[in-house]
Each structure stands twice: as C-alpha cells, then as structure tokens.
A and B are shown apart, each in its own frame.
Chain A
C-alpha cells in the first residue's frame, strides 16, 4: 500500500492492530534436569528473576501488547507465575494469556499446531521462547517485516539473528547454525543446523540459489536469538506439515527447500542490542554473565530487574541488594561480576567470585563460591568449595564439602558434611525420604503436592519420558550405594546417572551425549575433537580429488586416528548403550529365527527378515552372523549316540545352513570363528567338530577357510579372559586340527595357508576380545528361550 494515498486508512488500521506475541514456555528437552523436576525451566531464576519474567520484560520493551504463553509441563505453576507477575497488574498495557496445551505436545511444532487450532492469531506475531533475554527493538523488526509483506506476500517469516564471532560464548557450540543469506536483501536462502559433536564436517549449499542471487553470504557467526516474526500463515503451515517438529531444523529448512511452497524467509541482522536464549546450562551461565556485564541494558539488575528487586551497582559489576539486609563479613571477599540477593549472609573469609546468589543464601566461613549460580535459600557450610555449578533452591551443603564444576543440584538436596561431588554430578532429593520419613522442612503435604505435580503435568521437559516420577524412581532404584557415601552422612540425595542409557537409538544427534556436553555448564569439553580442522583431509580429499596423490607422501594419515579418537567416559557409556542395542537386536533375531524354524519359512524369507532387522538397528554384520550361527547351533537337538546325532546335525545344517551366507555377506572364516565362540560357551561344545564337518560338506565352509581360521591366534582362545572358555576354545581348535590333518592326509599339499592366513587373523583379532562376554548373554537368552 502506498503510504500517501491509502495513508489514513492504513494508519487507522495499524493503530487497531495489536502486536501479538507467542511464548513457547516449554523447552521440550531435559537439559536442566534435575533442576526442572519440580518447576518448569522457564521459571528457573536467572539473575534472581524467573526467565519468563525476563522474556515478558523483553517483549514489553518491544511494544508487544498481547502475549500468549504456551505451557505444557507444570502449567499450574506457570499460570500462577503469570498471575503474580507485575505485568498482569492493570495498566501495564500488556495482556498475558496462558494457554495450556495437551500433554502430547512434544515439540515446538506441536505447539504451533496447537496455536493454529486455538485460532488466537489474527495478524503478524512475534514468536519467542520462554527463556529469552533480549533488549532488541523487536518492534523495528516487526515494522521491517510488515513493510516487506506489502511488496512480497510470500515473506512469511523474519528471524532475528545477532552478529557475534564464531566462538562467542553465548553461541552454543553444540547447537548452532549456518545461515546463507542474500547479501543484498538478507533473504535466508539456506539454513544448515550445526551440531558440535560429532563434528560436522561439511555444509552443503545448494548451487541453484546462485542462479537467482548473484552474491551470497555464508554466515557462521550468528547467534540465533529465536525471535521470529511470523505471519498468520506460519501456524497453518505447521498444521499442513504434521512432521515439522523443530522450528529451525524442520520448518525453516522445509520451507526453504520446498519447491511447492514458494515462501520466503528473511533474516534480520541485529547490529545493536542483545538477545540470547537460555537453552542449556552453558548458555545459562553465559547469559547470566552477559546480564551482569550489562549487555542487556536496560535490563540489568540495578535498573529494570524483572522480579522487581532492587540492587546497587558497584564498581566491577557487583550487585548487592539495596535493602541493607545483606550481611557481608568484614573479611569476606566479593569478586567482580557478582550478584547477591537480599537477606544473604557471607561469613568471614568466604569468597564469592563471578557468581549469582539468590535471596537468603548463607555462605559459611572460609567457603569459596566460584562461577556458580545459587538459587534462593541456599546454605553453604564453612570451608566448602563450589565451582561452576548450579545449585537449586533450599539446598544445604554442609561443611567441608567440595562441589566440582558442572554439578546440578536439585531443589532441597542436603549433602555433607565432607561431601565430594564429582564433576558434572546431578543430584536431586530422594523421594523415599520425602514420603516416608518427614524430612526437615518438607511435610507430608508438600510431598503430596509434589506427587500431584509429578503425576499431573510433571512430565516436563522431556520428550520421551512421560513421567518424571517414574524417571526418578528408576534413578533411585539404580543407585550405587557406594557413590552415595561420598555425599556425606547427612545426605538425602540421589545421584542421576551420568548419561541416561535409556536414550533411544534414534535419539537425535543434537541431544546426543557428547553433543550435550558442549551445552553443559563448566564443561570445556576439551577432550572432544570439535574442530573439523583436524579430522579433515583424507576423506574430503579423496572424494574431491583423485586422492591417489595425497597418499603418496607422508604415509600416516592423522585423520584416521582423530576420527576414532576414543573419548574418555562418555563414549564408554555410548558404547554401553550400543551394546544394549545390540543385545536387543540379538534377541530380536533369535525370535525371528525361532519363528522361521517353527513355521518353516524358506531360507530366503528368513534372510530378508534378518536384513531388515539389521538395517533397523544398524549393527555390524558380525553380530548378525553370531546370532544366526548361535540360533542354528541351538536348534540342533542333542542326541544320545553318534549316528543319530550326526544325522540331526546334517538335517539342521541342510535345512538352515544356507542362511548363514545369506545375511548380507559371505565370510566363511568368520563363520568358523563365530561357531567356535558360540560352542565354547555352550553345552553343545562336543558337537563343534561335527557341525564344522557338516558345514564343510554343505560347502558353507571351505577347507582353506578352516585352515585360515585354525592358524589365527584368536582361534586358540588368545585374549579370552575366562580360563574355562579358553580351554573350550582350545578344544575346538584341536578339533579343527584333526580336521586339517584329515585334509592333509587326503591331499598332500598344505603350504598355502602360511602367509595368507596371517593377515586374516590379524584383522579379526581385535574384535575377538569383546566377543566372549556378549556371547554369554546371548547364550543364556537362547537357551532359556529354547527350553
């Protein structure tokens, strides 16, 4: 619309138009556990005011008039918080409407669909998350957006991004993105999410965008503020595409790559101002620091504190509550960048450095609190050290305790005296204590409340677990009593497992354990190889150029070692998770074969089923072979005497032996190894020779394979820990020796094996080690199912 001619009408129209905002007050993940077991993330305090209040403040600053808060977990708490917020008072010019969505809302996409069904959106609106701290003039962005809409109806969204450096602390390494923009118009042409670990190596930019846009910027230095100006169509697009979950990775990516939609998304590059999300504990720390460092001005503790507290700003960015209730000992030391809430007490010789203390915190004499965030009512005994941790409300840490970096301590936990928390420990209060005994301040009633909470809407921040309570119960059930000893005799804590093993296979990489480490407070993740700088070369080189050349110098290739770089703890856990997945796979294979045996499927059909299973769980071929061999062996009935036994073996192998080579790859040597490994731990050990012979007769295993196997060190049980198993290995090996002897007798040429067999054996050797134990489990499974 031309401003002049239609000006008046337009003006009137714009005046009428209320600027709406939608806050997604649920995080849809569980990075703050266990702090979020009893309240939603958006109500966690940051610099002593709930995050949601910071968000309201940011929106109010931008001239938003109507806010819808979409809440899911702890909806009652959120509602109550909204009611008590200063913005709910009359005359604030802000209307805040909480909307409780269904429990089945698992992603921002679901929430958007919910918004659509509610039909609350009438015009362009601002979409933010409930953990936003910003002083960006969003109204200007909205104006720019509307201006653009006048000429281009397809510009449905404007994302606000902030320039920073690639390594800015507020820019999450674990979850960042690359924006590809038109240099002139800032139209977003391509969006590429980036996760920190495993490090992404390539960004792929579609070349076709070059055709229409002569000059393009590839920006890897934006902080995604998660402030989106959306047009009315946006929720309906979510409705149409039911699989959109994440706003960036699904919606933006989907819209930009769609050939049908023909919609445009633009970026607004905020040159001034500050905006960041608290999306994980690491950004919790960095946003706190940014607030204390006054980046968010005017949203700073001493001026416009969202919770209405009053702080005095002292030199060095120290903020002390103004109401004279803070008692600081004469000998205590307050470092720079510290916020201390009212009624707090710091005793003699205590040090508080670069930390935030809530209200009514007590720091005992000689304690040190560094880079940590203490919620309200935390009591730290004398001579404690708290490093880079987040400590929930009402926590009591008794004297001489150590809290190492990265700990998250849930509300109401008591630890100590002389507790030692390992780095990245996560504690919450024991439920059994809560309900059985009456622990200090928590009466029955409160427990009930908690319980109600738990059962009700408590499922909170997690996608895949519905009930925190059961979650907690499970954690409690798996407690290791030894580790609790470190927490001091008075503790009431349960320790959360380091990495939840219940993570599904398909957990998305963003939430992967190693990647999450990049989002943890206090975790420098220095042991993770993040830069793809190191791991590059060979792979890329070989596909981009005819690699031959590159390998002709300097033999060793750093990348191979780097990519497989073992990472201390987390990978072990991942490995365990893998093992768990494999076990599950094996049991499924066993069942599938059982069915095949019982119902007399054809070998081909059974093979197809196996392949499908293998694809689904992505296990190595060897595992499949193990499972198949094991099943077949267990299928063989044990007969009293030799002849019927041989017959039985013959018939089983005749019927099913072919399956071994149809699982997707033929490797007869491995088959023998697997057979040996299985027999060595099975009651069918005596049958080994006969089975092998039967396999030989059915051409599943050739003579050379047997020789090859026989000459490999692993076939003699090398590297097997249990003595009994090793003995069994040896027995099998001896049986093999006999067979080879027979071969030799039959035909007298035998030299061939010498050298050629060596290489084969070396390859297999490494895998051999872990095989024994797995074999065991599998075996039990097989046997029980058979009996």
Chain B
C-alpha cells in the first residue's frame, strides 16, 4: 500500500496566518503618497527585498499554508501585484494568500481590534497574527512559537503565545525623526514562559508606580520585570480569543489594549469566571486534566517549583493521614494543586534576547535604518557577475564590502559607497559620497553629492553637490543643487517649487515601490500622541 498517496489536503489546517499591513505612519515621509500612488509600508524594501517578504518566508518555513493578508484598500493593487508577480525573487508558492482590503484613510485608521473583528468571520481556526514589519532572526523560527503554543494549549490551557524581543538599538537616528516610543515594561515568568503583565502607559498618571496584582505574584512568585523588551506583535492565538475580542467593544489597539487585558484573565478570578467559558476553560480541559492527573511526566509547573525549591527530605504527617496513624511524606508547601485542573488561560511568551540574534520591527524610521544596516553586516558585497549589470558600475567607483547595490544601478567614477544600501535602477553620479544610507529604487544622485545616514525614498533626486546628513525624503522628492540639509524629514508638501514630472517618468515595473505601513497600531499611537 502506498501511504504517500494520501493527499496533503486531507490534513485539516491548524493555523491561519493573519498578516496586518498598515499605513506605516511612523515611517513617514517614506510612506506618504508618491503623486497619486501610495507607497505601502509592506513593500518598503529592507535590504532590497520588500519588508513583507520576511514575515511571509517566516510563515512558509513554519509550514503554515493559509495567509490572510489585510491591507488598506488603496494599497491593494500594489500588494496584489507584488504577491502575484513572478518577478519577485522569492515566490511563495506554498502559501495561499487571501488579500483582503479594508477601507480607511491614512489619516484616520481604526484600531487593530476593529480590524480583526471585521475579519473575524474569515478566521475559523487558531490563528497567528503577524505584522508585516517584523524581521525575525534565523534563530527564532516561527515553529518555535507554534510548538510552544501547541504544547501549552494542550496541556494547561494556554490561550495564546507571543514573543517579545530585546532590540539592539544603535541610536543612530536623530530625534528629529520622531522619538522612538519607550517600550512598555512587561512582567513575565521566566520558568514557565508566561506573559503576566504589560504596563501600558494609560495616560492617567500612575507615573510613579507600577501596580501589580497580588494574585499575579502569588501564582508566579518569581516574576521578572523589564522594559528592555519590545513586542514582536506576533501572537499565536486560539480562535476563542477572537470570541472574547468580539465581546470587548471599547478596545482599540490589540497591542495596547487587548493583549494587556488578556494577560489579566489568568490570575484574576472574576475575569476568569466571566470569560473562562468563552475561552474554553472547561470544555477541553476536563478530559485533559483527568489524563494529566494520572500522568507521571507532566507536573503542574508551579507545583513543581514549590516542590523542587525545598525538596522534602523527610516526612511530616498531615492531619488526615495521621488520623489513620500513617504518615506520608508531604511537601512543606501547602498544596493547592487543584489549580492544575483548571486551565491556566495564560499567555505564553518567548523572550528573545539580543545575544540570540538580531530582531527588530521596522516600524519607525530609526529601526528601519537599523534593520537595513544590520543586513549589511552579515553580507559582503561583490560586484555583479553578469556583464550587463557589471558594466553599469564604474571601475573607479569605490564600493565597500559592507554595502549592497541593486540591479541595474549605475555608479559613476570616483564615487564612494560605504555601509549603504542602494536600490535598483538608481543612477549615482561622479564623486558622490554615500555613507550609511539607504537609497530606495530609482534614485538619482547627481555629481558631487554627499549623503550621510540618510534614507531616500523612491525616485528621490539629489542635485549637484547637495549635502544631506541624516535626512529622510519622501518618494519623488528633489533636493536642489548645493542644497544642504541636516536631521530633517523632507516631504513633497513643503517643497513647493517641485516640478511634478519626476514622479511619472519611470516605467511602472516598479510597482512595488510604495510603502505603507503595517499595523495600524502605529497609527493609533501616533494619533494619540
């Protein structure tokens, strides 16, 4: 009998991936419209690959097949084109991507919660929620999260698993680009990998003090607290979580409102009573708990902690036992192990530390630059081998090995490029100096220009001998000759004299250029601040 014949499709799908691609208001002006065309954040290149590539290939590696990609309707065409075009370097053959637009304008976007609620009917399974801007390290495959979720949801009723990472920030971006948000403090339990509390700044001023429930501290007596971690916004959730979300009407952002709230269910009994049923606390745990009670391998995690910290060397008799005149060993900890019988409803968390690999979310200008630079450190540039492309690069150009040059980019003589990424189809003149920059596609840099620590949007034109230091430009921006800028965000709006022609000159195979952003939470943050 040939077992291989069994169609793969017969396996019911386990997870649906939900990828949120938003506007990227934190990445302005890179994501502002280029003429009539949007620049979707999801398609902003990181190391010359669209940002969206990273989460999608992460998903693909984990074996997840179904993806629900949610993007603003204005970005739909561009993203759809990208997904379906064969020209993309990686084609996600094994992914079935369902692209769904949502209607909202860039200025006024609704929160991630309502977004998810809106698409709730399309989500019938446990799901993985990802942002389009999470750049996972090789050391953290998605399957690691999935496996943790699988184990914990089956054994003790965890409802979600997420990941927080420690970011190495080089701090290179100037304040003028917008202060990066301080990450919220989190409280988590290292032993069980449980997220306990997210200290969302709530406007009201408990400025001075972080209030923690004693219930939390009793259940998890060795909690850790730190503010150096960032939310990856990757959540593996039970479908039931969505049901609860549907009940909560006033939540806006998943990250700032819903998940911090969800953490509380695990140690607050009243919430547990209210929502436990919806979360399946009873349903699937009873059969499980019976088997768990009889299992010798599985011990409730905190029961185990109690027992192991002071392992009883001998016995003491507890009242009932001694009544019979017997004494059995008993732990000095008063047992309330019946905890293990009910579901924990906890949120698992993987804490990814900096030493385990570089991780970042490219959700603001600073981190966008950092991510790009990070990839430079891990690769070394060599001149293209194809003669056709090779010919575009002048012999006398000086390109350091920690740089990257896109296809069909022309580099003229005596130009030096260091620690920079230059997109495709750019034209770089003579005697240009580019240090620590990211140039998107189709940029034109005239002779003698000097760029340092800049991000240039698509189709940016830099005039002769212009000097830009730590600036960001909107797509299609033109820097005048001898212009000199420092620490500025340059966008078309305040560039009154700009002729519009540059925006339309290019052929349209570049469709993927625009950027947009990702999670709408960024927006909500921004709108709040």
Contacts and interface: CB of A to CB of B under 8 A. Distances in A.
Interface string B231-273: 0000000000000000111110000010001001001111101
Contacts of B313: 293-295
A781 B236 CA distance: 70
A216 B223 CA distance: 9
B341 interface: no
A548 B312 CA distance: 49
Contacts of B261: 545
Contacts of A353: 317, 322, 325, 327
Interface in A379-430: none
A336 B309 contact: no
A78 B274 CA distance: 58
A307 to B, nearest CB: 22
Interface string B203-223: 010011111111101110111
B397 to A, nearest CB: 43
Given A216-B225, A533-B218, 13 more contacts: A166-B217, A203-B213, A206-B209, A208-B208, A215-B224, A217-B222, A337-B327, A354-B317, A354-B327, A533-B269, A536-B268, A537-B271, A549-B250
A454 interface: no
Interface in A293-316: 293-295, 316
Contact of B309 (A165, A202, A550): A165
Contacts of A290: 332
Contact of A544 (B202, B316, B322, B332): B202
A169 interface: yes
Size band of the B side of the interface? 35 or more
B334 interface: yes
Interface string A161-184: 001111111100000001010010
B306 interface: yes
Contacts of B336: 167
A200 interface: yes
Contacts of A548: 250
Interface string A332-356: 0101110000000000000101100
Contact of A532 (B215, B251, B302): B215
A554 B310 CA distance: 42
Interface string B299-311: 0001001100110
A200 B222 contact: no
Given A201-B213, A293-B314, A538-B270, A216 B250 contact: no
Contacts of A354: 316-317, 322, 327
| Max count, chain A CB within 10 A of own CB: residue among B199, B223, B247 | B223
B222 A221 contact: yes
Those 9 A-B pairs whose CB atoms lie nearest each other, nearest first? A537-B270, A165-B306, A221-B221, A336-B327, A220-B221, A204-B209, A166-B221, A220-B217, A216-B225
A510 interface: no
B305 A204 contact: no
Contacts of A294: 313-314
B214 A210 contact: no
Contacts of A170: 332
A183 B209 contact: no
Contacts of B334: 167-169
Interface of A: 163-170, 178, 180, 183, 194, 199-208, 210, 214-221, 286, 289-290, 292-295, 316-317, 333, 335-337, 351, 353-354, 370-371, 531-534, 536-538, 540-541, 543-546, 548-550, 552-554, 557-559
B257 A168 contact: no
B325 A531 contact: no
A216 B224 contact: yes
B9 to A, nearest CB: 39
Contacts of B223: 217-218, 220
A320 B300 CA distance: 39
Nearest to A540: B213
Interface string B320-342: 00100101000011101000000
B193 to A, nearest CB: 16
Contacts of A202: 211-214
B504 interface: no
B225 A210 contact: yes
B499 to A, nearest CB: 50
A538 B187 CA distance: 21
A204 to B, nearest CB: 4
A164 B322 contact: no
A336 B261 CA distance: 49
A166 B274 CA distance: 26
Interface in B260-303: 261, 264, 267-271, 273-274, 302
Contacts of B199: 207
A218 B187 contact: yes
Nearest to B313: A294
A351 to B, nearest CB: 7
A235 to B, nearest CB: 31
Contacts of B227: 210, 214
B185 interface: yes
A203 B214 contact: yes
A778 B315 CA distance: 59
Contact of B213 (A208, A335, A337, A532): A532
Contact of A166 (B211, B218, B271): B218
B322 A165 contact: no
A215 B218 CA distance: 20
B385 interface: no
